[in-house]
């Protein structure tokens, strides 16, 4: 079975968040189950693309409204990714140093049209088109409605919602950009007065998945305006928890770590990584190290970090290290904490540092208000780091509280007091060295790799091909 994943991001080529990790790992795990899963993403101006060689396998011209753009489909040569990587090169629109910007309607519409124009020319078509998030959400509509793509109509489509907050809305004035279709079906594009690519994909895809079962349920109550639609379409919706790539995230072999470790050497291994972090960031290595990695946005609870950290540092003997970037106000507010001896941060994106933090931290903070799946808690577990999470979405599905016989620290809801209380509970847990280290050792073996969830996707594909 030929599966084509169509996405804006794919690790290690272009990564902004968890979407990249999923698209960079899932195809390989699916391949182990016998599918031929490959990926198509835009061709960005980034380091990976500059350092690798691509073969041009197709050239064409696409029509975006009145404007015509030349495009090329590039295939990565000597791919070590495990799957074939195809890139859509539309230099004027997509060859940028960033993945997302504020003219994404045109950029990603052109990406989707070019992808479909290319597929039209293939003798052997994919058996399933697996689209990810709103950037590729018009594909299920175009292949079922646009006259141009009627030969692709029978290909089943799957939409995975990685984050329903972002829906790619644009005005009806731009309808002319979409390859012509029967206007009596224009309602499929619309949700609440605008063209809504995510809503449209929920309506038109053959099957819709979200990245955890709990998130699927939560979306029926809170989906940034799409609650009723998701409830209405619930028969074709399913929550499948994301996995992590055990080849990339392996404490025994991860080349980014200061010191590798296994289940038997976890204590000394984590100690070496923590020492490096504490020296680099001027923190006391004898205090428990609490870390956060991620986007500094409201969804992650970042607007409360300043108050949470201040209170927690006052009430406990701990260190805090933050890696991330996002809202400028939050960044500025947090910068004022830098003078505190037990707090430090790196504002920016650093993949290597993230790996060392997962390995060297004692606790990973995830006070997210919305967390469709969350990968960080799974990376933390894999590296023997105890997660502290708000029990929602994927966090609820993957982290069990120590008081319930589990291995993490969970709180219900996000407030300064609730998160601070969870941090205090963790600080106390840390003082019971024997129990804390036993926890580190055991969580390292919890299997949240893709092997389980990849099977669920393959079963889903098979059910659509019947």
37-45, 348-356, 440-448, 455-463 -> range binding ligand ADP (CB under 6 A)? 348-356
DSSP assignment, residue 304? G
Is 99 a residue that touches ligand ADP (CB under 6 A)? no
> Do the Cβ atoms of 461 and 158 come closer than 8 Å?
yes
Q: How many CB atoms lie within 10 A of CB 21?
A: 24
We find the least distance from the C-beta atom of residue 316 to ligand ADP, in angstroms, to be 25
Among 62, 74, 240, 323, binds ligand ADP (CB under 6 A): 323
Among 324, 367, 387, 393, binds ligand ADP (CB under 6 A): 324
Give the Å distances, CA to CA, from 206 to 43, 175, 217, 251. 28, 23, 19, 39
DSSP class per residue in 220-262 = TT-STT-HHHHHHTGGGEEE----B-TTTS-TTT-TTSSS---
25-33, 251-259, 287-295, 434-442 -> range binding ligand ADP (CB under 6 A)? 287-295
We find the least distance from the C-beta atom of residue 178 to ligand ADP, in angstroms, to be 28
**H runs (alpha helix) in 226-361:** 227-232, 266-280, 305-315, 328-335, 351-360
Is 196 a residue that touches ligand ADP (CB under 6 A)? no
| Nearest residue relative to ligand ADP (C-beta) | 18
Is 245 a residue that touches ligand ADP (CB under 6 A)? no
Distance CA 313, CA 179 (A): 57
Is 367 a residue that touches ligand ADP (CB under 6 A)? no
Is 349 a residue that touches ligand ADP (CB under 6 A)? yes
Among 7, 13, 21, 24, binds ligand ADP (CB under 6 A): 21
Phi, psi of 138 (to 5 degrees): -90, -5
Among 125, 295, 369, 455, binds ligand ADP (CB under 6 A): 295
- Show the beta-strand stretches assigned E in 31-170: 36-42, 54-64, 67-76, 85-89, 128-132, 157-161
25-33, 221-229, 264-272, 323-331 -> range binding ligand ADP (CB under 6 A)? 323-331
Which two three-digit tokens encode residue 161?
A: 């919602």
Is 12 a residue that touches ligand ADP (CB under 6 A)? no
Is 369 a residue that touches ligand ADP (CB under 6 A)? no
Which two three-digit tokens encode residue 84?
A: 């074939």
Rg (CA), the chain: 23
Is 269 a residue that touches ligand ADP (CB under 6 A)? no
Is 213 a residue that touches ligand ADP (CB under 6 A)? no
The residues that touch ligand ADP, with contacts defined as CB under 6 A, are 17-18, 21, 293-295, 323-325, 349-351, 354, 373-376
């Amino acid at each position: 079975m030929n599966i084509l994943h169509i996405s804006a991001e794919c690790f290690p080529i272009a990564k902004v968040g968890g979407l990249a990790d999923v698209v960079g790992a899932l195809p390989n795990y699916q391949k182990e189950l016998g599918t031929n899963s490959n990926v198509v993403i835009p061709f960005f101006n980034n380091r990976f693309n500059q350092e690798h060689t691509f073969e041009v396998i197709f050239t064409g011209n696409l029509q975006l409204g009145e404007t015509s753009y030349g495009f090329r489909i590039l295939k990565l040569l000597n791919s070590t990714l495990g799957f074939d990587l195809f890139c859509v090169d539309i230099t004027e629109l997509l060859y940028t140093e960033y993945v997302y910007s504020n003219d994404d309607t045109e950029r990603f519409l052109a990406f989707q049209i070019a992808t479909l124009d290319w597929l039209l020319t293939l003798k052997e078509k994919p058996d399933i088109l697996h689209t990810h998030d709103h950037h590729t959400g018009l594909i299920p509509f175009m292949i079922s409605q646009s006259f141009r793509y009627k030969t692709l109509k029978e290909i089943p489509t799957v939409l995975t919602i990685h984050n329903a907050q972002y829906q790619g809305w644009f005005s009806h004035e731009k309808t002319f950009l979409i390859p012509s279709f029967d206007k009596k079906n224009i309602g499929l594009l619309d949700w609440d007065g605008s063209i809504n690519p995510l809503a449209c994909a929920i309506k038109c895809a053959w099957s819709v998945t979200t990245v955890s079962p709990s998130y699927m349920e939560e979306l029926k109550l809170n989906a940034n305006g799409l609650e009723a639609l998701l409830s209405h379409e619930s028969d074709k919706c399913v929550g499948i928890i994301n996995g992590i790539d055990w080849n990339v995230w392996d404490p025994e072999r991860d080349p980014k770590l200061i010191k590798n470790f296994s289940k038997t050497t976890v204590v000394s291994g984590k100690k070496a990584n923590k020492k490096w972090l504490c020296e680099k960031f001027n923190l006391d290595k004898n205090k428990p190290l609490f870390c956060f990695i991620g986007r500094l946005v409201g969804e992650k609870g970042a607007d409360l970090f300043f108050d949470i950290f201040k209170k927690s540092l006052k009430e406990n003997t701990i260190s805090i290290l933050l890696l991330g970037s996002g809202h400028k106000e939050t960044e500025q507010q947090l910068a004022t904490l830098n003078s505190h001896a037990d707090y430090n941060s790196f504002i920016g994106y650093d993949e290597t540092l993230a790996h060392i933090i997962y390995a060297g931290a004692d606790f990973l903070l995830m006070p997210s208000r919305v967390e469709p799946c969350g990968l960080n808690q799974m990376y933390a577990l894999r590296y023997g780091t105890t997660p502290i999470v708000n029990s929602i979405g994927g966090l609820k599905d993957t982290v069990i509280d120590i008081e319930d016989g589990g291995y993490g620290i969970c709180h219900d809801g996000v407030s300064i007091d609730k998160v601070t209380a969870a941090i205090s509970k963790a600080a106390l847990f840390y003082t019971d060295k024997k129990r804390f280290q036993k926890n580190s050792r055991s969580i390292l073996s919890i299997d949240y790799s893709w092997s389980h969830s990849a099977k669920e996707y393959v079963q889903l594909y098979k059910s659509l091909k019947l």
